[in-house]
Chains A and B, each alone.
Chain A
């Protein structure tokens, strides 16, 4: 699915934008293809993120375990795309609220607070806007544990807003391919 990401870095007074596509391959592989400002590609697998340049050569690898904030946000994205409420709750305190007066019916808002101390050191919270994802809401509320979304399209997430303690922000706008 296509994404548009806005980043806010504390020392920069401007939203830094990039665009591209996200490809999720269950259970754990996430590929992030950036088309703007520069073609590059990252593959997140387990705790490892590898960055490839436009020619497909690997230019760098990161150990996400050493960057708990980054890891937590990738974990959240993966859990959301998979619809795995249990994984989500393992890493975060999950609070779900629906706004009946909101502009779109069935819209919900989720607030994730990191549980892990090291993740919490850099990561403040993750706010997620979504719409009509019965599986997920059921999992989050009812605690039936399975969180299986019963075949419903898992991607009902519209934005993922990752907020860092230092004031940095990373807002991912997702648009399912129609």
Chain B
């Protein structure tokens, strides 16, 4: 009884200490959740720069919103009403700087950002409007406007800006060019929902703020529902994905743990009848996990959630080590003796697997490098803890006798050796199948790698499709020595792009040159405007016969002269958020100058655009197809990872050779691993899966498991050789123990990874499925390749 209590105390103390240490590590851990860490460092420069634009630009603060009434018809009138009400309610919350629903709001201050630079920004200025005749015509138009419904705004503007230039500039700059409009507001393609885009107040990295920003969406929903009846609100965009993704992470983690922990506990209880074993088995696991996370944080500075997710899956691998210890324990030997006895086999398995992961550490993909380092450290630490700390915990635990049932496995094990040739044939068939599939074998969509749950991604995609403008596939990159050169080059492209739009080659485009003229162009336009004296003179002529009081337009004369004097503005001068948000997505400063983008919508004929761009003879201009770029990125990613994996396999084989020293066992163990991995891959392909990098990493885990199983199963088989049995003190049970150990490990791993296979996160699901299949197959092929069949036994 005392020993039983102690068994709990020792394991409990270690688990508590380790959990505290892990909590400490996690509190300090800088976590990252974006996809960019998964992108290689030496990725295509264009993609990297575009990512920078999308991340630092307002895209990261953008929330996409769709509204539809829950009951009744979604007629345009109703949608417009809901859209306006929601916009007002959302602005009311104070968390959003701008809410755009397609309508042209003239709220106080809405025109201010455009007022200061109205003579310098696009659209082009017609000097004809500032001649005496032109002014006179403009002033007559002004009188009509004053009689119209917009008169309050016109009245505010007229003294400074009688030509109403501010309105023209604002129209262009705030025009989205995007979604379909009904009744003045944006609606989806099929017209059944209203669309809005909101820009949160500022970039919020802290979780609480992000959460408040997202919660405000629901506050606004409730406010609208109070007046207009129930509505269905759909939201997407980075802030929503971050918050909801985090919620899903928490819910999923809880669910997966809630499923897998009892399963592991159940397997261990069935195998050992001791709760304390379950607790003790957690010790190396937690130690390995914490050490892995700490190592990654130390080397890389931050830890990506993907790494942690992957790390968590090591549950299924490192739990094998304590299982080996417990399964090999006998009454006659204490845990220390057992640890010493199994250490050579355990060490060989761990070292070989760890060496297999070493090359990944040097991968140019930060995500893969993190995974490699994490696994390496976690495996080694878990093994060391099993060898040097776990026996202390295991000392007071008294295990029941192993049941005789396990003895029946031995004949089966040895008989299975007959299946070696069929197994090899199966592996060859899998290789054949995969090479037949070629490129179709691989997942082509980068988003399959994203740590975001599939459902959130689908919502995001659907909303972006409705907003049309925001998820372009084609873009023109414009490289220049500085922002001005980029602008000038963009300007040179404008006529070509407009022609292409006219002829229907493309549906639309967006580039900074549309909004902001180059300095040279601005200087030209300012020079064409009259100076103070001339303007006063012309104005006097123009107002003759019109009912304006003398001196009404003094401010106009001042403003125009001031603009003329101040000269052109550059992208850096546009500090107001309404202006900067335009610039930030379309122009990025790079190390070697500046890079601009022209996003192309609805491109029908890429080749025609490419030819037209070449014909312009503007240098530094290139058409990018993001789909092609992404695919080649993924291909590079894959090729590199495959190379590192191959290198890892060679290193692991060398380590195995050094450990086993004889060619035949090395070949048999390697064959068991190789066949397991190939058969797993083949099985995935047969199931219709497109392989991603996470499948590849899963296959590496399979290789690690396969190695471990094969090494222990080989020991079992070897111990049952007639002469070995005579030599060892109790070799009669060693074979049984090793087999039992491997079977328990395989069952645990298969169960845990099968649960992960049902995860909502693509990454975990991919890993889980792969390893679940792989663990089961590793057991089968481990038995087949290590069994001492008649022929094999004679040959050895």
Contact = CB atoms under 8 A, between A and B. Distances in A.
A60 B152 contact: no
Given A61-B104, A62-B107, A14 B152 contact: no
Interface in B178-235: 181, 183-185
A115 interface: no
A60 B106 contact: yes
B149 interface: yes
Contacts, number: 91
Interface in B90-142: 103-108
Contacts of A63: 88, 105, 107-108
B146 interface: yes
Interface string B143-162: 11011111111010011000
Contacts of B184: 50, 52, 57-59, 61
Chain B, interface residues (CB within 8 Å), range: 20 to 34
A34 B147 CA distance: 10
B104 A37 contact: no
Interface of A is mostly: strand
Interface stretch (B278-286, B423-431, B546-554, B761-769): B546-554
Given A12-B547, A12-B549, A13-B547, A61 B105 contact: yes
Nearest to A47: B88
Interface string A42-77: 100000101110001111111100110010000000
B80 A12 contact: no
Interface string A10-39: 111110111000000000000010100110
B183 A70 contact: no
Contact of A62 (B152, B158, B159, B183): B152
A48 B269 CA distance: 68
B84 interface: yes
A40 B547 contact: no
Contacts of A51: 149-150
A9 interface: yes
Contact of B149 (A9, A40, A56): A40
A42 B146 contact: no
A7 interface: yes
Contact of A37 (B80, B147, B153): B147
Interface in A57-111: 57-63, 66-67, 70
Nearest to B227: A46
Nearest to A59: B104
B47 to A, nearest CB: 39
Contacts of B143: 12, 14, 16
Name the residue among A51, A59, A60 with the largest chain B CB count within 10 angstroms.
A60
A3 to B, nearest CB: 13
B151 A60 contact: no
Contacts of B552: 11-12
Nearest to A5: B147
A170 B596 CA distance: 50
B144 A37 contact: yes
Contacts of B147: 7, 16-18, 37-38
B103 A58 contact: yes
A146 B104 CA distance: 39
B229 to A, nearest CB: 16
A63 B158 CA distance: 20
Contacts of A37: 144, 147-148
Nearest to B167: A60
B148 A18 contact: yes
A51 B103 CA distance: 10
A140 B425 CA distance: 101
A96 B548 CA distance: 36
A63 B147 CA distance: 20
Contacts of A38: 144, 147-148
A66 B103 contact: no
Contacts of A18: 147-148
A125 to B, nearest CB: 18
Nearest to A10: B549
Contacts of A41: 149
Nearest to B106: A60
The 5 closest A-B pairs by CB, nearest first: A58-B184, A14-B547, A66-B108, A11-B552, A13-B547
A10 to B, nearest CB: 8
A12 B151 CA distance: 13
Contacts of A12: 143, 146, 547-549, 552
Contacts of A13: 547-549
Given A37-B144, A57-B181, A61-B103, 8 more contacts: A10-B549, A34-B148, A42-B149, A51-B149, A58-B185, A59-B184, A63-B105, A63-B108
B151 A7 contact: yes
Nearest to A51: B149
A50 B549 contact: no
A113 to B, nearest CB: 21
15 contacts: A7-B151, A11-B548, A12-B547, A13-B547, A16-B143, A16-B147, A34-B148, A34-B149, A38-B144, A40-B149, A58-B184, A61-B184, A63-B88, A67-B108, A168-B155
A12 B159 CA distance: 11
A51 B146 CA distance: 14
A50 B108 contact: no
A61 to B, nearest CB: 5
B107 A66 contact: yes
A153 B630 CA distance: 70
Contacts of A32: 149
Nearest to B549: A11
Nearest to B182: A57
A70 B548 contact: no
A58 B101 CA distance: 11
A32 B151 CA distance: 14
A16 B108 CA distance: 24
A11 B146 CA distance: 11
Name the residue among B148, B149, B183 with the largest chain A CB count within 10 angstroms.
B149
A22 to B, nearest CB: 12
Contacts of A17: 147
A88 B150 CA distance: 26
A60 B549 contact: no
Contacts of B148: 18, 34, 37-38, 40
Contact of A48 (B88, B155, B548): B88
B149 A58 contact: no
B103 A50 contact: yes
Contacts of B144: 37-38
A56 B80 CA distance: 12
A177 B148 CA distance: 23
Contact of B159 (A11, A50, A56, A60): A11
A77 to B, nearest CB: 14
Contacts of B153: 60, 62
Contacts of B88: 48, 63
A52 B185 CA distance: 12
A62 B184 CA distance: 13
Contacts of B151: 7, 16
A14 B144 CA distance: 12
B147 to A, nearest CB: 5
B108 A61 contact: no
A57 B183 CA distance: 5
B768 to A, nearest CB: 51
B181 A62 contact: no
B183 A56 contact: yes
Contacts of A9: 146, 155
B514 to A, nearest CB: 21
A61 B105 CA distance: 5
A104 to B, nearest CB: 30
Nearest to A18: B147
